[in-house]
Amino acid sequence: MVFVRRDATLPPEVERLLRAPACDAGDAPIELSGLWLEILEVDGRAELDLEPPYDVDLFVEQASEPRYERTYLTVRVPPALGTPITRADIETSVWEGGSIALRARCTEEGNYVAEEVEASPPS
């Protein structure tokens, strides 16, 4: 845990980690890939049934637009995608430090919404 004074000026690299970049509809489709951290229900509780809608939290390592790289993002997986993440994906990827790739777009409210999702086990 790191403590930072409220009035402290943080380096741009730290600011970037703490504040996700605004979703820009002009960037769509946004290709994102990186380490996935968790899957949460829309209300913030742990996702158990893997039935969308739910949110995927990830650390973006690669993106179609560089401003999304090295940031933490939350992407909503909508019901229209069916069940793109399975129990096997959880066991072989997220539990083992695997990665996730998403193609996303922006909502009018500026949120990230997945159009495609693919989980990969660690290499």
Q: What is the pLDDT of residue 68?
A: 94
Question: Is it true that the peptide bond before 29 is cis, omega within 30 degrees of 0?
Answer: yes
The 10s digit of each residue's pLDDT in 49-108 is: 899 999 999 999 999 999 999 999 999 999 999 999 999 998 888 888 889 999 999 999
**What average pLDDT score do residues 24-38 get?**
94
Do the Cβ atoms of 24 and 82 come closer than 8 Å?
A: no
- The mean of the pLDDT values for the chain is 90
Distance of CA 86 to the CA centre of its chain: 17
Confidence category of residue 1, pLDDT binned at 50, 70, 90 = low
Q: Are 27 and 99 in contact (CB under 8 A)?
A: no
Domains, in order of start, for the chain: 25-120 (2.40.50.140)
Question: Can you tell me the mean pLDDT for 16-31?
Answer: 88
pLDDT tens sequence across 8-19: 888 887 776 677
User: How far apart are the C-alpha atoms of 66 and 98, rounded to whole Å?
Assistant: 22
| Phi, psi (deg, nearest 5) at residue 13 | -65, -35
Give the C-alpha separation, 115 to 113, whole Å: 7
User: pLDDT tens digits for 78-93?
Assistant: 999 999 999 999 888 8
The pLDDT of 36-56, averaged and rounded, is 90
pLDDT of the residue at 20: 83
